[in-house]
Amino acid sequence: MGLLDRFRSKSEPATRSEQEEAIPSVSKQEPEPATEPESVPAPVPAAPSSEVDPNRPHLGEWLDLQFDEVSNHPDAIERIYAGTLDGISIRGVFTEEEVATGVLRAREHSKEFNDYGKQIFFGTAIVGADDDRADYYAAAPIINDRLDSLFDVDFVGRIGQVLSAVGAGRPASVPSEEGRGDYVPITIRFLPPDGGVMHAHTANEFCNAWGSYEHLREIARMWNSLSYFVVGQKPDTGGELVLYDLMWDDTPEDVRALPMSEERDALLERFGRTPIDLEVGDMILFTGGRIWHRVEPVFGTQERVTIGGFAALSQDEEQVYFWS
């Protein structure tokens, strides 16, 4: 059982009423009015279909850019929220050496890794935290206090630089919860080469239902939020990120009813799949909230390593937040 599997089963998927609560339409031009939720009817998403035609196309546009081209796409985050862009592959955000150094130094802290079997994490993640987040804030310094010495470059700063560039110049920052602590900007994820895997999921199913996300829901637009990661090491075989041609809002009931598992992955096989090919140092930013995705099982001799987290616009749309 892996990290997400463990915690996916502790709670039901987002309920219909929770989904109806807030599907944001993100637009700088038309901010949502600051009124009491009950005074303005929330937009009602389409009911989840019980049957989805597997041939219906869901995946749309994807950008494949060089690092120095990101500033040509300042509207990318808004387009991702609006559903007109699925994601971006950004080539060469880091050199191979820059990430390899971080991965090597992270391994020196292996005694402090969180071993979930099919995934091993350096750094704690809000996805598995207790509802009150006390465990998360207690564990956050294990990686946060070492970020400066892990990399020879300002790794977190460069992630922020990319997010800011594709977020129309909004400042990008790692949030803090007053009186509690700082969020963790990245986790380093090792998938062991004996079948390490991340089963299919979308962030909408847990970010909008679980107690640990309560603070993030207050400060950020968590519906259709973003995932990002940088490839730290490629495995010999497998380990591709696969996007299914299926969005959370269209998810059939049989898929919604199951926790993250091989069984649920098997149900998703009836949908089209797009593997995303990335090299060491490349960064991906995509609508992990909305698009079903999984990491294929890893085999061979080398672990698959990624360094990443999640991102969302702040509620007032003035900032981009990122965390893990």
Ligand X SMILES: O=C(O)CCC(=O)C(=O)O
Query: Which positions touch ligand X (CB under 6 A)?
Result: 189, 198, 227, 229, 241, 288, 293, 295, 306, 308
Judge contact between 228 and 263, C-beta under 8 A.
Answer: no
From the CB of 64, what's the least distance to ligand X, in Å? Answer: 18
Q: Which two tokens stand for residue 267?
A: 């149900």
Q: 320 forms bridges with which residues in the sheet?
A: 172, 313
Pairing of strands 298-299, 114-115: unpaired
Cβ proximity to ligand X: between 208 and 227 the closer is 227
From the CB of 160, what's the least distance to ligand X, in Å? Answer: 17
Cβ proximity to ligand X: between 20 and 96 the closer is 96
Neighbours of 273 (CB within 10 A): 17
Compute the distance between CA of residue 316 and CA of residue 59 in angstroms, rounded to an integer: 28
From the CB of 173, what's the least distance to ligand X, in Å? Answer: 19
Cβ proximity to ligand X: between 283 and 295 the closer is 295
Cβ proximity to ligand X: between 79 and 234 the closer is 234
From the CB of 31, what's the least distance to ligand X, in Å? Answer: 27
Closest to 162 (Cα-Cα) out of 223, 225, 88: 88
Cβ proximity to ligand X: between 79 and 189 the closer is 189
Judge contact between 223 and 18, C-beta under 8 A.
Answer: no
The structure tokens 């998403």 sit at: 45
Judge contact between 239 and 43, C-beta under 8 A.
Answer: no
Compute the distance between CA of residue 60 and CA of residue 40 in angstroms, rounded to an integer: 31
Cβ proximity to ligand X: between 189 and 234 the closer is 189
Q: Which residue is nearest to ligand X (CB)?
A: 227
Give the list of residues 6+ apart from residue 277 with CB closer than 8 angstroms, or none.
89, 240
From the CB of 184, what's the least distance to ligand X, in Å? Answer: 14
Judge contact between 207 and 287, C-beta under 8 A.
Answer: no
From the CB of 203, what's the least distance to ligand X, in Å? Answer: 6
From the CB of 51, what's the least distance to ligand X, in Å? Answer: 26
Q: SS3 for 107?
A: helix
Judge contact between 48 and 251, C-beta under 8 A.
Answer: yes
Cβ proximity to ligand X: between 52 and 305 the closer is 305
